[in-house]
Amino acid sequence: MIWLFDLDNTLVNRDAAFAAWAGKAVADHGRTDADLAAIVAADDGGFSRKADLARVIIDRLGLPDDVPATIELFRAGIREHVEAYPGVLDTLDVLRGAGHLVGVVTNGDPAQQRGKIARCDVERHVDAIVVSGEEGVEKPDPRLVETALERLGAADADRRDVWMIGDAAHADVAVGRAAGTRTGWVSHGREWSGGARPDVVAASTRDVVALAASPAHGR
């Protein structure tokens, strides 16, 4: 079996890292809970335009009007605070120990994504990493999945033997479907509302893997 994982909010808790940075920044600048709520809302789980988010941060914190510097400020804050979900890297080790191939397929800026990967020691637990900013395409473009399979030496693998797992319906589930793989959605307690359900839905990455690896989902 081949397992492809999203990075943010799948292997590592990116949203908690942003919230931790934002909370400290708001406190350091003497701002209010309303400012914190506005900044977190503007982040939109990492899917907002970075320049738009920077504008909200500048306004709410009273920072100098420098969008690139503000983008680097919050990116550095995320890198400083990000952590892997408890036990998730052990799960990757179990999969590899059973002879499975494991890869990461992530959208984002190369320096930012590689920084999070390094801080959380992800690379040591996987066989390949594909970052959209290094490839010139991003999820849900299926070429990212094809690139990951090539790097895993599995370009000709039966797509029924491949799982794409992530928390974002419009990116992770969509790219798996576009590439013809099976799909697992990490819900974090949300209700699925993206049309046809993925093959597996569970609250955490570890739970998704457990369900996907169960006999009920064997070929």
74 and 163 belong to one structural domain: no
70 and 136 belong to one structural domain: no
144 and 190 belong to one structural domain: yes
141 and 62 belong to one structural domain: no
Residue 52: name the closest of 62, 42, 38 by CA.
42
User: pLDDT value at position 208?
Assistant: 98
Judge residue 103's burial from the number of C-beta atoms within 10 Å of its C-beta, 0-12 exposed, 13-18 middle, 19 or more buried: buried
Sign of the Cα torsion 151, 139, 3, 91 reads: positive
User: pLDDT value at position 96?
Assistant: 98
User: pLDDT value at position 119?
Assistant: 97
- Report the percentage of the chain scoring pLDDT > 90: 95
For 192: left if phi > 0, alpha if psi spans -120 to 50, otherwise beta; the answer is: beta
202 and 112 belong to one structural domain: yes
Of 25, 56, 81, the residue at which a domain comes to its end is 81
User: pLDDT of 149-169, one tens digit each?
Assistant: 999 999 999 999 999 999 999
Neighbours of 105 (CB within 10 A): 30
77 and 113 belong to one structural domain: no
Of 62, 81, 100, the residue at which a domain comes to its end is 81
Beta carbons within 8 Å of 110's beta carbon, 6+ residues apart: 131, 133, 134
User: pLDDT value at position 183?
Assistant: 98
181 and 121 belong to one structural domain: yes
Examine the pLDDT at 217 and tell me if it is beyond 90: no
| Confidence band for 196, pLDDT divided at 50, 70 and 90 | confident
User: pLDDT of 110-125, one tens digit each?
Assistant: 999 999 999 999 999 9
178 and 105 belong to one structural domain: yes
Examine the pLDDT at 148 and tell me if it is beyond 90: yes
Range of the domain at 89: 2-13+84-217
Cis preceding-peptide flag for 140 (omega within 30 of 0):
yes
185 and 133 belong to one structural domain: yes
112 and 183 belong to one structural domain: yes
Examine the pLDDT at 66 and tell me if it is beyond 70: yes
Sign of the Cα torsion 53, 55, 61, 67 reads: positive
Amino acid identity for residue 94 in this structure = V
User: pLDDT of 29-56, one tens digit each?
Assistant: 999 999 999 999 999 999 999 999 999 9
In total, how many domains does the chain have? 2
Examine the pLDDT at 218 and tell me if it is beyond 80: no
Cβ-contact 189, 169 below 8 angstroms: no
Q: What is d(CA 168, CA 219) in angstroms, rounded to the nearest whole number?
A: 25
User: pLDDT value at position 180?
Assistant: 97
Of 81, 101, 117, the residue at which a domain comes to its end is 81
Partnered with residue 106 across adjacent β-strands are 131
Q: Give the 3-state secondary structure percentages of the chain, helix then strand then coil, rounded to 5.
A: 55, 15, 35
Backbone φ, ψ for residue 197 (5° rounding) = -70, 150
9: CATH: 3.40.50.1000
As a whole number, mean pLDDT of residues 188-215 equals 93
88 and 194 belong to one structural domain: yes
75 and 91 belong to one structural domain: no
| Confidence band for 219, pLDDT divided at 50, 70 and 90 | low
User: pLDDT value at position 161?
Assistant: 96
As a whole number, mean pLDDT of residues 69-79 equals 98
